[in-house]
């Protein structure tokens, strides 16, 4: 059984390393023309998880050969000061990508902050202009949110770029993952259903899917018998749960589906951790490189 599961596991780590190597190669070529991609990351407060994410993004940017800028702001920072910083970065030609680490303190309007980022520097893909481009199929100039973009690459490793004739179910309707994921699948000619935790007969809806993307944010919600035999399953969920039979307080990461049960039926499946997670940062690097290329009318590998 262990060997069978391993044969079906999609390594996000391997795919992410491939993307990063391509980013490094193109960045080195751009350096010869005096172009250096620049990524600015803004973090408000000192949330430990956010600090870890920001540190990982900064290190990966430097590894890729980017100019990496981090701005730490106190949790009580005024919204106007944050908006002024973003406006300055919008005007800075050395910065091609701007990322504001979420969540933000409650006194700051996160939506207003996100929409203040110039669309051409919105490497998170959250600006309404990029959302609209993706929704209308204008993927050439749109920046796609990193997690669904990475998930789509993993799907293409199994099925190729054309998904005609395949049924896809996205479990989750967030603006960050669920909705853009559905748009990417539609653009690849899949027949797409968006479901969520309140969908009636969710098990039956999932069972008819050739491709399932689980992004509902509930640990092990999707059971093995919800999976069609031979389906491809992408688990976006990252949930921390208590470790069974371990020391009190010890936790582990699990996805939105029961991996052991699902792996017995799936053609291919992403693990948690080690599946979609590494792809998210890799796609942030790809988006930043692409932003730099678009700014200088240069070709990009993505």
Q: Which residues are part of the catalytic machinery?
A: 57, 101, 124
Pairing of strands 239-242, 67-73: unpaired
CB < 8 Å & 24+ apart, contacts of 24-27: 24/63, 24/64, 24/65, 25/301, 26/289, 26/293, 26/300, 26/301, 27/64, 27/65, 27/66, 27/289
| 68 or 139: which leads in pLDDT | 68
* 173 has pLDDT over 60: yes
Return d(Cα 33, Cα 294) in angstroms, integer: 14
The whole-number pLDDT of residue 246 equals: 66
Structure tokens that stand for 255 in this block: 């996805």
In order of their start, the domains of the chain are 33-118 (3.40.50.10860), 146-277 (3.40.50.720)
Give bridge partners of residue 41 from the DSSP assignment: 70, 99
Give bridge partners of residue 247 from the DSSP assignment: none
Return d(Cα 20, Cα 134) in angstroms, integer: 23
* 173 has binding-site annotation: yes
Beta strand spans in 74-220 (E):
97-100, 167-171, 191-195, 211-214
The whole-number pLDDT of residue 7 equals: 46
The whole-chain average pLDDT of the chain stands at 93
Structure tokens that stand for 176 in this block: 């960050």
Report the pLDDT averaged over residues 168-172.
Answer: 98
* 207 has binding-site annotation: no
Gyration radius of the chain's alpha carbons: 20
Cis bond leading into 103, ω under 30°?
A: yes
How far does the chain reach from its first CA to its final CA, in angstroms? 37
Neighbours of 276 (CB within 10 A): 31
For residue range 220-263, what is the model confidence (pLDDT) as tens digits? Answer: 999 999 999 999 999 999 888 888 766 777 888 899 999 999 99
* 1 has pLDDT over 70: no
The whole-number pLDDT of residue 3 equals: 33
Pairing of strands 251-254, 232-235: unpaired
CB 269 within 8 A of CB 1: no
For residue range 89-135, what is the model confidence (pLDDT) as tens digits? Answer: 999 999 999 999 999 999 999 999 999 999 999 999 999 999 999 99
Return d(Cα 191, Cα 165) in angstroms, integer: 7
Confidence band of 162 (pLDDT split at 50, 70, 90): confident
CB 269 within 8 A of CB 233: yes
* 172 has binding-site annotation: yes
Give bridge partners of residue 239 from the DSSP assignment: 254
């Amino acid at each position: 059984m262990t060997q069978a599961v391993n044969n079906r596991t999609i390594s996000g780590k391997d795919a992410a390393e491939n993307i990063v190597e391509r980013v490094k190669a193109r960045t080195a070529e751009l350096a010869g023309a005096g172009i250096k991609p620049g990524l600015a990351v803004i973090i408000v407060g000192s949330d430990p998880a956010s600090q870890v994410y920001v540190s990982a993004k900064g290190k990966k940017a430097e590894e890729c050969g980017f100019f990496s800028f981090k701005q730490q702001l106190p949790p009580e920072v005024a919204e106007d000061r944050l908006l002024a910083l973003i406006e300055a970065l919008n005007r800075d030609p050395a910065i091609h990508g701007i990322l504001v680490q979420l969540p933000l303190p409650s006194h700051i309007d996160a939506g207003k902050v996100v929409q203040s980022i110039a669309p051409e520097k919105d490497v998170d893909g959250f600006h309404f202009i990029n959302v609209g481009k993706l929704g209308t199929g204008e993927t050439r100039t749109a920046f796609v949110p990193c997690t669904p973009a990475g998930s789509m690459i993993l799907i293409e490793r199994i099925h190729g770029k054309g998904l005609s004739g395949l049924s896809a179910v996205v479990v989750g309707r967030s603006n960050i993952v669920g909705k853009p994921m559905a748009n990417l699948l539609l653009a690849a000619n899949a027949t797409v259903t968006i479901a969520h935790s309140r969908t009636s007969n969710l098990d039956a809806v999932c069972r008819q899917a050739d491709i399932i993307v689980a992004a509902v944010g509930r640990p092990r919600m999707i059971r093995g018998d919800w999976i069609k035999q031979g389906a491809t399953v992408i688990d976006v969920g990252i949930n921390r749960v208590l470790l069974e039979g371990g020391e009190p307080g010890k936790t582990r990461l699990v996805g939105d589906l029961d991996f052991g049960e699902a792996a017995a039926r799936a053609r291919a499946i992403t693990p948690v951790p080690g599946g979609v997670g590494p792809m998210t940062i890799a796609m942030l690097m790809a988006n930043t490189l692409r932003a730099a290329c678009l700014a200088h009318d240069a070709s990009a590998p993505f």
